[in-house]
Structure 1
């Protein structure tokens, strides 16, 4: 028996040596054929030695003694291998004793995906599990997560020249995750079985870009108009206007926040009310600053800007503004501002506005008792609001609130808000319109300095019915998810409000202009048809000399056509009269001449009295067209020359508002 054991011992030693080699996990880097041959040699030696041991046991054949020294070397070799294998012992043994050329890999469910950084807002990418491999482009800073389930032995991920086994996270679940910082060739393998291969290309995050698309302008409302364009790979997270005095290059720049919305491409016009800015009324140098979510920034080329300044006329407002300017100096003169506020509130000539009086007392007490920088900044803002209220009551403040509500609604839509949020914002905007309308009406009727009793257009400052229809239509569009259409209408409205300094949306002027505009087109059609009819009527009928005038079917048709033209003109006159347009005498003359032409044509006198009357019709229609051309337009014209209504909307189709039909022809083809 001892002899048989000595005969089989070399096989045991070779087995232990092979197992020790497997502990060092070399097989993923060994060609599968070599691995298979070595394993076959091991099996052959073990089987051969087992047969030899059985023969020795049966025959008693003599076996040389064992040289234990060489086997003693296996002990440190195995000890080091066990230490290196640690928790990966079982997998390494399985890989070593299951060559891929002879055995398939164990079954496992593999899931791999790429998770881009949160700031990119990019969706995750599920990777294909295929030995053929695929190429994937990922954002810089993306993470890869590989999971294997339903297996006892996890695969290994080859990454940047190192093999990392998946770590066990739960029973039967193995996972590995990491950030991809550079282009990588990732290989997921079990032993020398390649399960999946991915070529990862990292796309660098470029810094944002920002620039003006047109020169900066100041609108009639004293807003700074900024046409700008900004773009970034994954969205502009912050946008600002940086200002410094034009005559002081060393001055500390001041930032004015702009709307960025986090969009990848921003190409729009933004309006800024900078009349309350410390640099208002001065020449400044401006720069646009864009920052992305990674913290990379970009600055546009510098451009000059003349900041507008609000001119106050009210004595109290001027005094408040003087105190405010003392607080806005580089070293705020709090004592001077406090004294001016105290003198202002104790003056006998102070107007009886409780809100302004209490606000000034609050500012005085705060500056006297706690003059820290935060208080100075807060009171500077409060004094601006009080100066506006002293100047024109709540008119300017309600106007500012209106524009703020409009800007907030547009920003909400651009940020991807849901329909309920947009509907709530539209309700707030409608309320801001109503508040502005009330403030304007109060200003027009109460203040004798601005009341113009004879000007009906100015007193009718807002068409409430039109506004309700406008916001009702926007609400329906928002409910249907047509946010692009809502945003477009609000942008037109914003442009209209900024470019019309009086902000008068007169329903009467609007109706008059629309009716006059469509009536003008109608007159062009009537004039064309009248010229055609006159040429037909002047063609003499062929009849023997001395024969009476033709009163037959042809004359009847000509008279019918003239009557149709007259009826169309009567319709135009009725609409113009209802719209309240004055100076319609030319229209009445044209109608009278048409009546004369109808009578003459009915009598068959096409060449005589009828022709004379038709000439008078054309003359009167030409004068009537000039009357319509003189009607003032309350509409706006955009940069492309498109005419829009006072709310900034494109004009409706012809038949939607005027009530005037405008067919291709007043009547059918002439005979």
Structure 2
């Protein structure tokens, strides 16, 4: 068809190829089924279980089936004839009258016939127009006609299932399927196809991850360092008999199916871990079994007593895997059984560092010399002991005289139980002195009940109850409800610290934090009530001390809660320990009332404050008289010491007011009276056994000189002497303040309240400067919300990397240490 257009020729060629494809796919289908079945068996590991001869025979059968299945493929590879392609195009496009064959035909006839040629030409043109509209169609093989049972779907399903099951072993199984191993015994005997799946699980208390053995973990030949008590979990396949050996000690595994053995074997002593097929070694690793060491513990600081006579214990305990518990043993010379006090702070981590407080003032051994020893235990109940420390157990000093008498009888009952009747008589006498304890009915009933109990019971069974009751009565007399509030506060602090150490949930931390807030509020309220009951102004700033308000304590709790929520629980624990120490020392002002020396200092400070005010008024009057005599008007020039002058209280006479202008006898009498007050104060301090500040002695001499100048009608000299007296009084007041600070065990300048440096928010007396408030928090670095969120992101990333087993062991150990620390 030389005159055919090129597009028609291309369509014919494409149609011939489509017809060839339709014939090729049915010819390939039987052979593809054979190949799919072979691959499914290979991926399923069937050929690896067969002897070499049977494997070879099966390969031959599959080869023969493949040849028979593809016997029609050569014929299907030939292109169909062009007439078939033309007919296919005409059929697919519904071209009438065999238009494509018309284009191939010629006009028959012996001679030219113009009419016939014109008709023929018109017919060919219509056929060419029809051929120009032809559209190609793809191959349409009818597979279902050649596979009516849909066996092809089963082959595809088998390939998918076995391919997933084979996983990374698929290439190796395909190679084994193509190469038979002649001489290989049947499945279940030892041979080259022996393999294993194994890992080592350390004890749970070590918190170590499982260690995988093989290509995906610790390759054979690499050294193993395994904690004692670990379990080797192994499964051997393709073996005749499986076993695990530690050195020369062989442990057989249990058969689970033909050719497979598995079991869990505890790690034993040995220098090498081996997997065995009978006596043949499959894989081995150099082995070192790490024995669990006993923990160590020591006092981080010498045990000491707080302001409330609680025992402060700081310790550091370490273990190779985790400290399970720490306890304090208290032993009294001559007593066999020690007193064991559990301590918090052990959370199963390799290091436990904590500061804890225990109130042992109620124990009969309080005030005696005892030996303290720390004991740490690990998960295997191994123990470690600290070096013994000899201390005097803190003893409570009762202020109330009746409370002291009750405690004396309590000690007598504990030390000499046989004298319980004498103790009962003494308690009855104390109860009879109703005025001594303000007629408080609970005290009377408690003492009477204790006396009756001791009289009626000749045995020691009830002594412990009486001892506890007497302690509660003495505490109530001495401090009201402060001890119970303090005990509740300590319990809330212990519960919160334990929750932070044990990794409790955020909701649990928030709940315990709220309980601590309530306990702290009740404790502060009890302190305030007790201070008011004893007539002590708790709001008075302590010289050299650290001013602290409930807002400061609330702010510290808020910081600790934010640190815990951001994941920095160790930092939150440290903040809570600092808060605990501050609360333990909070009753320093109350401690001033525990002895006469401190009370005398407090009264002396108040008297000196009044003297300063009166001395300033006297100097102002002397200065005014001097100005009048010199012809000036009082008040025209600045008067020294004006800041000490104040308004007179109603009913008080102004010194010198009774005299006429120029008469200084009244001022001299007032000055002498002030000097006598100072002398009385000095005698009181001396009788209390307190050192007398030299400044107060100078103030007394200056007052005497001022009196003499006033009697000599010399106001100028009097004003100068009075100014010296003012300066000396200020120095004496400062010296007394330092003695008060020493009574409280506080160094001057300690804390932000005592700071008088430029830019400090408080003045030297601990009061806020103008425009400032207590506890501004500028001395505490509070993380911002963005910083807290960044910390959380870093912790999440560390935890993600810790779970990535593809990382090196050194990197995983480093990440684990970071997570344990933060």
TM range (shorter): 0.5 to 0.7
- Distance in 1, Cα, partners of 2:350 & 2:485: 33
Q: Secondary structure at the match of 2:229?
A: coil
Q: Secondary structure at the match of 2:588?
A: coil
Q: Name the residue aligned to 2:581.
A: 495
Q: With the length of structure 1 as denominator, give the TM-score of the two structures.
A: 0.54
Change (3 A) 1:413 1:369: farther
Task: List alignment gaps of at least 5 residues for structure 1.
Answer: 1-38, 41-94, 505-581, 586-622, 662-671
Q: 2:529 aligns with which of 442, 446, 449?
A: 442
Q: Secondary structure at the match of 2:289?
A: strand
Q: Residue by residue, what CA displacement relative to the aligned partner does 1:457-510 show, whole Å, maximum 9, x if unpaired?
A: 89x997344443433333333222221221221122223233454278xxxxxx
Change (3 A) 1:394 1:199: same
Alignment of 1:345-360 (within 5 A): 348=434
Q: 2:232 aligns with which of 141, 144, 155?
A: 144
1:160 Cα deviation after fit = 4.0
Q: Secondary structure at the match of 2:415?
A: coil
Q: Name the residue aligned to 1:297.
A: 383
Change (3 A) 1:453 1:98: closer
1:430 Cα deviation after fit = 0.9
- Distance in 2, Cα, partners of 1:201 & 1:412: 37
8 A Cα contact 2:373 2:388, kept in partner = yes
Q: Name the residue aligned to 1:120.
A: 206
Task: List alignment gaps of at least 5 residues for structure 2.
Answer: 1-50, 53-182, 591-641, 646-726, 763-767, 777-822
Q: Name the residue aligned to 1:285.
A: 371
- Distance in 1, Cα, partners of 2:233 & 2:262: 7
Q: Residue by residue, what CA displacement relative to the aligned partner does 1:223-242 show, whole Å, maximum 9, x if unpaired?
A: 33334322222233332333
Q: Name the residue aligned to 2:327.
A: 240
Query: If you compute each CA radius of gyration, which structure gives the higher value, 1 or 2?
Result: 2
Q: Secondary structure at the match of 1:476?
A: helix
- Distance in 2, Cα, partners of 1:222 & 1:364: 29
* Residue 498 (structure 2) pairs with residue 407 (structure 1): no
Change (3 A) 1:192 1:251: closer
Q: Give the root-mean-square deviation of aligned CA atoms.
A: 5.2
Q: Name the residue aligned to 1:480.
A: 566
Change (3 A) 1:453 1:226: closer
Q: Secondary structure at the match of 2:376?
A: strand
Q: 1:275 aligns with which of 361, 364, 374?
A: 361
Q: Residue by residue, what CA displacement relative to the aligned partner does 1:321-363 show, whole Å, maximum 9, x if unpaired?
A: 2453245338686666666667766775565656656766776
* Residue 518 (structure 2) pairs with residue 431 (structure 1): yes
Q: Name the residue aligned to 1:603.
A: none
1:438 Cα deviation after fit = 1.5
Q: Name the residue aligned to 1:257.
A: 342
- Distance in 1, Cα, partners of 2:584 & 2:753: 11
- Distance in 2, Cα, partners of 1:148 & 1:101: 12
1:103 Cα deviation after fit = 4.9
8 A Cα contact 1:131 1:194, kept in partner = no
Q: Secondary structure at the match of 2:399?
A: coil
1:394 Cα deviation after fit = 0.4
1:392 Cα deviation after fit = 1.4
Q: Name the residue aligned to 2:299.
A: 212
- Distance in 2, Cα, partners of 1:176 & 1:366: 67
- Distance in 2, Cα, partners of 1:640 & 1:314: 29
Q: Residue by residue, what CA displacement relative to the aligned partner does 1:131-183 show, whole Å, maximum 9, x if unpaired?
A: 7333221222222222357x796633233424443214699984322322423
Q: 1:201 aligns with which of 288, 312, 320?
A: 288
Q: 2:403 aligns with which of 317, 338, 342?
A: 317
Change (3 A) 1:461 1:131: closer
Aligned length: 442
Q: Name the residue aligned to 2:536.
A: 451
1:202 Cα deviation after fit = 1.2
1:265 Cα deviation after fit = 2.0
- Distance in 1, Cα, partners of 2:476 & 2:382: 42
1:437 Cα deviation after fit = 1.7
Change (3 A) 1:181 1:304: same
Q: Name the residue aligned to 2:557.
A: 471
- Distance in 2, Cα, partners of 1:338 & 1:125: 70
8 A Cα contact 2:243 2:277, kept in partner = yes
Q: 2:313 aligns with which of 199, 203, 226?
A: 226
Change (3 A) 1:428 1:173: farther
- Distance in 2, Cα, partners of 1:230 & 1:642: 34
8 A Cα contact 2:556 2:579, kept in partner = no
Q: With the length of structure 2 as denominator, give the TM-score of the two structures.
A: 0.45
Q: Name the residue aligned to 1:397.
A: 484
Change (3 A) 1:239 1:484: closer
Alignment of 1:61-140 (within 5 A): 97=185, 103-105=191-193, 110-128=196-214, 132-140=220-228
Q: Residue by residue, what CA displacement relative to the aligned partner does 1:271-297 show, whole Å, maximum 9, x if unpaired?
A: 332212222112223322333332332
Q: Residue by residue, what CA displacement relative to the aligned partner does 1:502-560 show, whole Å, maximum 9, x if unpaired?
A: 278xxxxxxxxxxxxxxxxxxxxxxxxxxxxxxxxxxxxxxxxxxxxxxxxxxxxxxxx
Q: Name the residue aligned to 2:471.
A: 384
8 A Cα contact 1:437 1:462, kept in partner = no
Change (3 A) 1:432 1:659: same
1:189 Cα deviation after fit = 3.1
Q: Residue by residue, what CA displacement relative to the aligned partner does 1:78-123 show, whole Å, maximum 9, x if unpaired?
A: xxxxxxxxxxxxxxxxx994699995325x6x44232333333433
Change (3 A) 1:338 1:270: same
- Distance in 2, Cα, partners of 1:416 & 1:333: 52
Q: Name the residue aligned to 1:186.
A: 273
- Distance in 2, Cα, partners of 1:204 & 1:443: 57
8 A Cα contact 2:296 2:384, kept in partner = yes
